[in-house]
Structure 1
């Protein structure tokens, strides 16, 4: 279990650091960052680092208080604030807003007061030997787990309610998984308070240290589900990013070929394939710009594609058995390739711009689909056969 706690602590600190890059300094909501920061501190204090802190400060069991304040009060309040925002729940009246701030602060103040007034300088297990300290521990634990349980129950209710109404499957599954984690947290709180009461009256609710082990398993389950649930919406965004990246790279050969013949349409100079492939930034903007530059280059090359060339391209693809939308895309690819070669040879434009524009997609996804088919046709043997035939024809006389 200790090795699993170490893995969880590392995972939580990685998540905290990653989210810090996203939210700090960018004006984003930081509630989820505070959640993971508090959980990471709590898990760290469960490790030998907690004992080291106690020895360094000279305050017995200080880590006991700090892990409850960070992992219970801070994280619970921050997670609940995050869930209210992501679910679109209204903040409520000013009194309700104040209560959401006052309640965790009051909980932390009561816990700290009880800890320093009655739970010092005892080791945690030695507290049971002093009746006053034992009652203070009961009050401390009741306040702490009471706040934690109420927060987790409220969070579970938000998750279950809004997971079915969420925009997008990833967000819905994420909220549902967080809700399951918070429900496991409620079970953890109930087991802990029951175990404490049982220890005060006997040997515990389960033989030996089984109650501690059960509560630890419930806590680890809750943390794991909350981490996974908060990551699921990010996976949806990552999947969208991956689709855009694949489309960007798939359109690169067509974009590069056309814009070499019409370089004026480029906003920036083309980068090498490795730089284009490895750059993760602004995938949507780059993809949008690439589709625009392909269409702009096609308009420029259209000046080198007179009506008779377009007609020959249409007959060429129909002779190969293509019809409908496939024939239209293949014909466009044929005359585009022939027009590109003509422009690179330095031939003068032979067509006016009164040709109707080739039909594209209704949105970016549709345009990507059309241009992907155009790219496949442009690099096909069919288009190269047509362009080779045009190269052998004599130049038209002025």
Structure 2
């Protein structure tokens, strides 16, 4: 009987990949699919099929039923080529959907040409025994090294490009779960590149009777493909995970607390319910949706009350410093808003005179309640990073516009 260290790498990723496909079918069976969703389906199904074919029992059964030794390996590699091309297509659709189709054609032709050459080399190679330990048995066989080099040539450009795009999008995403998912995918792809390169070195060493340490090759063959597949599967599934609404609202409600408290200190009239201690607020989980909505409204009321203290020079300096730090998009707007609000709260707390020309630009934020909450959450996070708080005992500012 196989030990867990043997069957976990062989069947664990395949089980997870199939489970991810089943969950996707159950959750999205009635949804109308856009092109980018179709590509994710292609990636998921091809990856799951590839991992299933790598299982020793399935590998042996496919060879026995078809009468073609090691045909499971060829089909497995074909599935991986399709998955990589589809993954690249999905990533390129995110930023430039208008160019994605034009890009897809030459890369599909490249992968198809590589697979056609692989099929020819597979037929010409003398590998008459169906064996899951293909490399150990046929490493010296003419045609096997050439097969692998063609496979790597068809695969590596897509793996490297997909890893690069994943890192690029992860740096620009405003959602933590998407950033994490993309980074996991990039890490898994880099590991896959390392595995395929070392495998090419192994086949070359066997072919030309060079020494290749078995102590290195064995663990790499056993664990690198499983680790790579696991990271990619989790990275694909993770962005689709949705935290329960009540939990998400509760977390957001608490994250907005420092910014809301700062406003309450200088504009106490905005609070429908006076601020409570943090433990009491953490333990109270009633009516979170209503309380979150009220907190957002009260923060907006606080900004309105302090609009005379919003200094355009501070806002301009904050934007310049944010750009210098590499911020862009919502992150930059949230940084500027946090710095400007922190200065306005501090000025109001100190009883300072408003600037001669207060900020007259449009109020930054989202287009609807959900996007506005997301923006205020980013502002609150930037405000916390500033480490700036007005004095507890501050001269209240008369609230206007309420």
Return the TM-score normalized by structure 1: 0.57
Find the counterpart in structure 1 of residue 309 from structure 2.
none
Map 1:28-43 → 2, pairs under 5 A: 28=34, 29-43=37-51
Indicate if the aligned counterparts of 1:360 and 1:366 stay in contact, CA closer than 8 A: no
Map 1:282-297 → 2, pairs under 5 A: none
The 1:18–1:121 alpha-carbon spacing in structure 2 relative to 1, beyond 3 Å, is: same
State the alpha-carbon separation in 1 of the partners of residues 110 and 46 from structure 2: 17
Indicate if the aligned counterparts of 1:180 and 1:225 stay in contact, CA closer than 8 A: yes
Find the counterpart in structure 1 of residue 7 from structure 2.
3
Find the counterpart in structure 2 of residue 319 from structure 1.
none
Give yes or no for the alignment of 1:189 onto 2:134: no
Indicate if the aligned counterparts of 1:34 and 1:75 stay in contact, CA closer than 8 A: yes
Aligned-pair CA distance for 1:92: 3.1
Indicate if the aligned counterparts of 2:170 and 2:180 stay in contact, CA closer than 8 A: yes
Aligned-pair CA distance for 1:367: 12
Find the counterpart in structure 2 of residue 75 from structure 1.
83
Find the counterpart in structure 1 of residue 143 from structure 2.
136
The 1:101–1:122 alpha-carbon spacing in structure 2 relative to 1, beyond 3 Å, is: same
The 1:177–1:244 alpha-carbon spacing in structure 2 relative to 1, beyond 3 Å, is: same
Give yes or no for the alignment of 1:44 onto 2:52: yes
Give yes or no for the alignment of 1:324 onto 2:331: no
Q: CA RMSD in A?
A: 3.4
SS in 1 for 2:174: coil
The 1:241–1:220 alpha-carbon spacing in structure 2 relative to 1, beyond 3 Å, is: farther
State the alpha-carbon separation in 1 of the partners of residues 371 and 181 from structure 2: 29
Find the counterpart in structure 1 of residue 63 from structure 2.
54
Find the counterpart in structure 2 of residue 308 from structure 1.
none
State the alpha-carbon separation in 2 of the partners of residues 117 and 366 from structure 1: 59
Unpaired runs of at least 5, structure 1: 248-322, 330-357, 369-398
State the alpha-carbon separation in 2 of the partners of residues 75 and 366 from structure 1: 33
State the alpha-carbon separation in 2 of the partners of residues 192 and 359 from structure 1: 57
Aligned-pair CA distance for 1:74: 1.7
The 1:99–1:24 alpha-carbon spacing in structure 2 relative to 1, beyond 3 Å, is: farther
Indicate if the aligned counterparts of 1:191 and 1:215 stay in contact, CA closer than 8 A: no
Find the counterpart in structure 1 of residue 72 from structure 2.
63
Indicate if the aligned counterparts of 2:114 and 2:153 stay in contact, CA closer than 8 A: no
State the alpha-carbon separation in 1 of the partners of residues 101 and 41 from structure 2: 25
The 1:240–1:198 alpha-carbon spacing in structure 2 relative to 1, beyond 3 Å, is: farther
Return the TM-score normalized by structure 2: 0.56
Find the counterpart in structure 1 of residue 365 from structure 2.
none
